[in-house]
Amino acid sequence: MSEILTKARARNVFYGGSIFFVVVFVALTAQSHRHITQTATAGMELTDEVRHGKHVWERHSCINCHTLHGEGAYFAPELGNVMTRWGATEDPELAYEILDGWMKAQPSGIEGRRQMPSFEITDEEMRALAEFLRWADQTDTQNWPPNDAG
């Protein structure tokens, strides 16, 4: 590669090509942004309650044990489809009740079983969290996960 590919030429290909790929990437990102807001997550309104639920989710760092849409830690079950597993995707009241019951039963204290901490969460926050998980569940994830086990 000595004759045709001089150092200056290699450098110019690097700069030029990189700019090209950045431009393509930005254009596709803009299109994806629109797709997410207008199609993929349009199945349920992004209410204040859902927003609040996302903050509750973040404040307790749930992501550092669980995955959500397959991203996060791999220590605890996938939660992007937990409402599907609970049969509560269409039923806010049921979603809240099961979630509340589950969270209040933690930690299980069972010897040799992974432990989920007990969190201080008000009723209002618990409802918001349930709505956030219902909202996440309706996202069009290209049919992932392969089955309800998550």
Partner 1 sequence: MKYQSQKVAYAYFIAAMGLFAIQVLGGLLLGWIYVSPNTLSEVLPFNIVRMIHTNALIVWLLLGFFGAAYYLVPEESEREIFSVKLAYLQLAILVVGTLGAVGSYLVGIHGGREFLEQPLWVKVGILVAAVIFLVNLSLTFLAGRKTAITNILMMGLWLLCLLWVFAFINPDNLSLDKMYWWFVVHLWVEATWELVMAAILGFLMLKLTGVDREVIEKWLYVIVATALFSGILGTGHHFYWIGTPGYWQWIGSIFSTFEVVPFFAMMSFAVIMVWKGRKNHPNKAALLWSLGSSTVAFFGAGVWGFLHTLHGVNFYTHGTQITAAHGHLSFYGAYVALNLAMFSYAMPVLKGRAPYNQVLNMASFWLMTGGMAFMTFTLTFAGTIQTHMQRIVGDYYMDVQDQLGLFYVMRFGSGVAVVIGAILFIYAMLVVRREVVKPGPVIKDAAVPGE
Task: For the beta carbon of residue 96, count every other beta carbon within 10 angstroms.
Answer: 19
The answer to whether 70 touches 144, Cβ cutoff 8 Å, is: yes
Q: Is 4 in the site for partner 1 (CB under 8 A)?
A: no
Residue 15 beta carbon to partner 1: minimum distance, rounded to whole angstroms? 9
Among 50, 88, 99, 121, binds partner 1 (CB under 8 A): 50
SS3 content of the chain, % helix, strand, coil (to 5): 55, 5, 45
- Our CB check for ligand HEM shows the closer of 68 and 94 to be 68
Q: Hey, what are 30's tokens?
A: 């803009």
Does position 17 bind partner 1 by CB under 8 A? yes
Q: Is 107 in the site for ligand HEM (CB under 6 A)?
A: no
Q: Is 114 in the site for partner 1 (CB under 8 A)?
A: yes
Q: Least Å distance between CB 73 and ligand HEM?
A: 8
Q: Which of 71, 93, 140, 148 binds ligand HEM (CB under 6 A)?
A: 71
Measured CA to CA, the distance from residue 135 to residue 41 in angstroms comes to 8
Residue 39 and residue 51 in contact, taking contact as beta carbons nearer than 8 Å: no
| Cβ contacts of 102 within 8 Å, gap of 6 or more | none
Q: Binding ligand HEM by CB under 6 A: which of 17, 70, 77, 107? A: 70
Phi, psi (rounded to 5 degrees) for 57: -55, -45
Q: Is 93 in the site for ligand HEM (CB under 6 A)?
A: no
Task: Give the one entry of ligand HEM, partner 1, none that residue 68 binds, where binding means its C-beta sits below a cut-off of 5 to 8 angstroms depending on kind.
Answer: partner 1
